[in-house]
Amino acid sequence: MSHGSRKLIVSGLARVEGEGALRVTVRDGQVEQAELNIYEPPRFFEAFLRGRSYTEPPDITSRICGICPVAYQTSACNAIEQACGAELDPPLAELRRLLYCGEWISSHALHIYLLHAPDFLGYPDAIALAREHRDIVERGLALKKAGNAVMEFLGGRAIHPVNVRVGGFYRVPGPSEFAPLADQLRRALELALDTARWVAAFDFPDLELRHDLLALHDPGRYPIERGTLATTGGLAFTPGEFPRHVTEQQVPHSTALHATLDGHQYLTGPLARYSLNSGSLPPAARQAAADAGLGPQCRNPFRSVVVRAVEIICAVEEALRIIDSYHRPDRPAVEVTPCAATGHGVSEAPRGLLYHRYELDGDGLIQSATIIPPTSQNLAVIEDDLRRVITAHLDLDDAKLTALCERAIRNHDPCISCAAHFLTLSMRRR
Amino acid sequence: MSDIDPTRGAVPVDAVRAVVIGVGNCYRRDDGIGPAAAAEIERQHLPGVRVVISDGEPAGLLEAWAGMDLAIVVDAVRCVPATPGRMHRWPARQLEGGWTASSHGLGIPDALDLGRALDRCPRRVVLFAVESADLRPGAGLSRAVATSLPDVVAAIATELRRAKVPPGRSGRP
């Protein structure tokens, strides 16, 4: 590689959700530009929610993403219930957490096995990995199936569940119905533990995140479906205060908005969740994290694959705990009476914090809606990661450097379909 | 991925020998042709035929078609230039990457390759791809693609008859 100006162009970023492009320009040994160009047209969900009933956002917004529909349903329900002053009965809140555990298991297993692991093992994709390590990929698919089983059981189907409503569910299962699912999850726990041991042995490039990390905090347990907000910088605030701290800006190179926290870049997602809540992991997940060499915090994005594996264990443990202590709720949903108010809802989608805000009128019609997905919040940090990775590896040839950039992006499991919606990678060096 | 209703009809699960998989998103206009065609097949209550709606995610496709004698996959395709509504029938061996309208990083060709690597493919896969006119957000097929729907459904039924799956209608109303 010369030290003059040159341009690298890579068309097509595989193994991320959506379409977009990465454009990187290196001039005279300095990274001049590292931009994720999101060119999927915005989906205008916030606009067409206006005028719809307060009961509709769980079903409408779940369509934003086929990978994390439960996250959209949950943040929407949380926001509307907060606006209307409704609080779920504790057993219903536990069922909501159980459904979300299914999504975590499914999404994380998909990302680890089919999208991320090939990066670490030197395979171009999961298909090549499967040809040589069939048993490993089968394990990932079995884990994903267990997560899907939770969503199908409780949500009616794995993609865009239909059993979720504001205030709870349309139907809740009887205790005896859980038996096959519990058996499947007990087997999944072993697979999840094997997964953590497997990914812990990967080779991780050095990279230390220097940004503030933002995640939910739910006292006494690992945050999934609810919580207040906390940062590694010591900031703590409620979901209702989210708009005062987090603001979105347009950037010229992307149809996805970029978010900042009190004016600075920040990261959400597994690294943030773990670093702020590792002490709240359930026992097996906590032990697996220790065995994998994770300290109380993890700031290397390449190690996010380990954190995801630990979070699968956490989700399976939590699912089993909820099933084991389950008593059928007295009612499938609490009554939610609409009122003129604004509600804010947050939850931890597999790839990061998901915020919803709805302003309702007295008839429960939505006057305005705001949805801030995790990938929008993380895009600026992903770009910063890329600048640092490229700067540290300018000695690599174009192909290797491009592959490393793709890895740096996949570390954050970006869902461009959520952020603006369709991604392609393009990388340039001069 | 979701079954429209896996328990519907008089056919026990172990008798199912063919699966019709409608791939797509009915909220992306013509990307909904796969689910629409699958729904029509489901309404015929064909014994021995399972009907599944999918977003094209490979793990789900493997789950849907593993062990089947025949998998018929119906999806929208983006062509330039396009003749919206025109249908293509492609056996699995002709499939190559790049044709799918899926918004995901992995598509049906990847699922086939992954299935082969894991020995989780059906004995035979046939894809019906329908050229799209409009893949923007929104419900409803374009006129050209909606017009093609009966022909697509008829082609699927013919394919099932050729494979002798099923032998006849279930007789359900």
User: Cis omega (within 30 of 0) on the bond before A282?
Assistant: no
Whole-model pTM above 0.90?
Answer: no
- Record: contact A16-B105, CB cut-off 8 A: yes
pLDDT at position B106: 60
pLDDT (tens digit per residue) in B89-119? 987 766 654 433 333 456 788 888 899 999 9
- Record: contact A130-B27, CB cut-off 8 A: no
Interface of B with A in 128-147 (CB under 8 A): 136-137
Closest-CA residue of chain B to A63: B27
> Model ipTM?
0.71
- Record: contact A114-B25, CB cut-off 8 A: no
In chain A, residues with a C-beta closer than 8 Å to the C-beta of B63 are: 141, 145
- Record: contact A134-B118, CB cut-off 8 A: yes
Work out how many CB contacts closer than 8 A connect A with B.
73
Q: With cut-offs at 50, 70 and 90, classify the pLDDT of residue B170.
A: very low
- Indicate if the pLDDT at residue B172 is higher than 80: no
Length of chain B: 173
Closest CA to A244 of A235, A232, A234, A257: A235
Q: Is B106 on the interface with A (CB under 8 A)?
A: yes
Q: Is B158 on the interface with A (CB under 8 A)?
A: no
Closest-CA residue of chain A to B26: A63
DSSP B62-125: HHHHTT-SEEEEEEEE--SS--TT-EEEEEGGG--TT-B--SSSS-HHHHHHHHHHTT---SEE
Q: Which residue has the tokens 């006292």?
A: A219
Minimal CA separation from B139 to chain A, in Å: 12
- CB under 8 Å to A14, separation ≥6 — which residues? A125, A406, B105
Higher per-residue pLDDT: B24 or A344: A344
pLDDT (tens digit per residue) in B3-60? 444 333 344 444 568 999 999 888 788 989 999 999 999 999 988 999 998 878 788 8
pLDDT at position B82: 82
Q: Tokens for A171? A: 């139907």
pLDDT at position B80: 78
In chain A, residues with a C-beta closer than 8 Å to the C-beta of B25 are: 63, 66
In chain A, residues with a C-beta closer than 8 Å to the C-beta of B118 are: 130, 134, 137-138, 141
Q: Is B2 on the interface with A (CB under 8 A)?
A: yes
Q: Is B103 on the interface with A (CB under 8 A)?
A: yes
- Record: contact A114-B62, CB cut-off 8 A: no
Minimal CA separation from B15 to chain A, in Å: 22
The answer to whether A163 and A156 are in contact (CB under 8 A) is yes
- Record: contact A141-B59, CB cut-off 8 A: yes
The answer to whether B48 and B15 are in contact (CB under 8 A) is yes
Q: ∠A104-A107-A110 over CA atoms, to 5°? A: 140
Of A16, A144, A159, Cβ closest to residue B2:
A159
pLDDT at position A30: 82
Q: Give the mean pLDDT of B54-70.
A: 87
In chain B, residues with a C-beta closer than 8 Å to the C-beta of A43 are: 137
- Measured between alpha carbons, how far is residue B158 from residues A239, A408, B89, B162, B167 in Å? 56, 48, 12, 6, 12
- Record: contact A43-B137, CB cut-off 8 A: yes
Closest CA to A79 of A252, A190, A226, A232: A226
| Class of residue A146 by CB neighbours under 10 A (exposed 0-12, middle 13-18, buried 19+) | buried
Complete domains list, chain A, with CATH: 45-389 (1.10.645.10)
Give the least confident one: A27-41, A161-175, A342-356.
A27-41
Q: Give the mean pLDDT of A66-89.
A: 94
pLDDT (tens digit per residue) in A395-417? 888 778 877 888 888 888 876 54
- Record: contact B104-A44, CB cut-off 8 A: no
Q: With cut-offs at 50, 70 and 90, classify the pLDDT of residue A430.
A: low
Q: Alpha-carbon distance B149 to A27, whole Å?
A: 54
Q: Is A98 on the interface with B (CB under 8 A)?
A: no
- Among the ranges A60-64, A300-304, B166-170, which has the highest mean pLDDT value? A300-304
- Record: contact A114-B58, CB cut-off 8 A: yes
Q: Alpha-carbon distance A203 to A200, whole Å?
A: 8
pLDDT (tens digit per residue) in A189-236? 999 999 999 999 999 988 899 899 999 999 999 999 999 999 999 999
- CB under 8 Å to A349, separation ≥6 — which residues? A68, A71, A72, A75, A373, A374, A418
In chain B, residues with a C-beta closer than 8 Å to the C-beta of A63 are: 25, 27
Interface of B with A in 48-67 (CB under 8 A): 55, 57-60, 62-63
Task: Tell me yes or no: is domain B2-162 CATH 3.90.700.10.
Answer: no
Closest CA to A372 of A209, A242, A276: A242
Give the least confident one: A62-66, A124-128, A173-177, A419-423.
A419-423
Q: Is A17 on the interface with B (CB under 8 A)?
A: yes
